[in-house]
Amino acid sequence: MSVALRAAQAAAPFLLLAGLWQIASLNLPKFLFPSLVDVFWRVLGIFLDWSEFRNVVATVGRIVAGLGGAFVIGAVLALAMNRSRAADRFIGPIMTFFQGVPALSWVVFAIIWFHGTEPRIFFIMLVTSLPAFVFQVLGALRAVPRDLFEMVLSFRPSGAKMFLQLTLPAILPDILTAWKVNLGNASRVVVVAELVGATGGVGYALLQQQQIFDMAGALAWTLQLVIFVLIAQGFIGMVETRAFKYRAVSEHAL
């Protein structure tokens, strides 16, 4: 399949959505469906005005910090659960309990427990992303093929060499998938956290647009976050392409 055809296929659903929106903007009030031309200029305006764009940077920083913290802590907990049945029995139920707590409840708890905006949002991002990382990394660790483990073990490696030569490469595909999934979730949670408990960021900017009933502005701020997620997903995709070039690809999949 040619590159142009693939690009056209990828763009088709977005073009369809944009077309439908534009048709709606011509027939419905502007405050409900603003023209995409207006939205485009608002998006560009946010990009070019640092006093506005720094809100996007703040939100991206919060997503990266929250996910990074959740991943590091989650990976350590998953390693402990994989090594020790006692740790598994202790941590597993807590993570399951955390998963059942709605993100909005964590927002309320964070506002009560913490003073500053950044600790609040970091806490919210951490606790909402942690269970997913723990379970995803744990699943990946448990799926390391036993026959490969025994093969490497037969050479009597140190713990560090076993981890670097077998465990890490074996779980890397699942880790990248976990990042992809959690990135989308985190971009939704961060907006909720900022909407309620922040004085800056995309969530806060969205709250302002809601107060002045500016749909074009709301859409433009939302698109900032969507663009970040698309860029981040594209980056992870590039890492996957490079790291997993060893995989066989069926001709039917091309």
Partner 1 sequence: MSDAEISFDHVTKEFPKPDGGGLFRAVDDVSLAIAPGELIALLGKTGCGKSTMFNMIAGLTEPSAGVLRVAGRDPFGDFNWFRGKIAIVFQNDRLLPWRTAIENVEIGLEMLGVPTAERRQRAQAWLTRLGLAGHERDYPHALSGGMRQRVSIARAFATDAKFLLCDEPFSALDEITGQRLREEFGTLVRENGKTAVFITHSINEAIQLADRIVVLRRPARIAMDARVPRNASPTERDDLRSRVEAILSE
Give min distance, CB of 247 to partner 1, in A: 7
Nearest alpha carbon to residue 43 among 232, 223, 226, 245:
223
Token pair for 217: 């502005």
Q: Which distant-in-sequence residues (6+ apart) come within 8 Å of 80 by Cβ?
A: 87, 91
Residues contacting partner 1: total by CB under 8 A: 19
Among 73, 79, 80, 152, binds partner 1 (CB under 8 A): 152
Among 20, 76, 151, 230, binds partner 1 (CB under 8 A): 151
**Using CA of residue 157, residue 158, residue 159, residue 163, what is the dihedral sign?**
negative
Give min distance, CB of 137 to partner 1, in A: 18
Q: Quick check: 156 binds partner 1 (CB under 8 A)? A: yes
**Helix (DSSP H) and strand (DSSP E) numbers for the chain:** 11, 0
Closer Cβ to partner 1, 157 or 200, answer by number: 157
**Residues 214-253 within binding reach of partner 1 (CB under 8 A):** 244, 246-248
Q: Which of these segments, 6-14, 82-90, 148-156, 212-220, binds partner 1 (CB under 8 A)?
A: 148-156
Give min distance, CB of 233 to partner 1, in A: 22
Q: How far apart are CA 208 and CA 43, in angstroms?
A: 16
Q: Tokens 């961060």 sit at which residue?
A: 190
Q: Quick check: 161 binds partner 1 (CB under 8 A)? A: yes
Answer left, alpha or beta for residue 229, where phi above 0 means left and psi between -120 and 50 means alpha.
alpha
Token pair for 164: 């670097």
Q: What is the DSSP letter of 252?
A: G
Q: Quick check: 50 binds partner 1 (CB under 8 A)? A: no
Q: Quick check: 86 binds partner 1 (CB under 8 A)? A: no
- Give the interface with partner 1 as residue ranges (CB under 8 A): 147-148, 150-158, 161, 165-166, 169, 244, 246-248
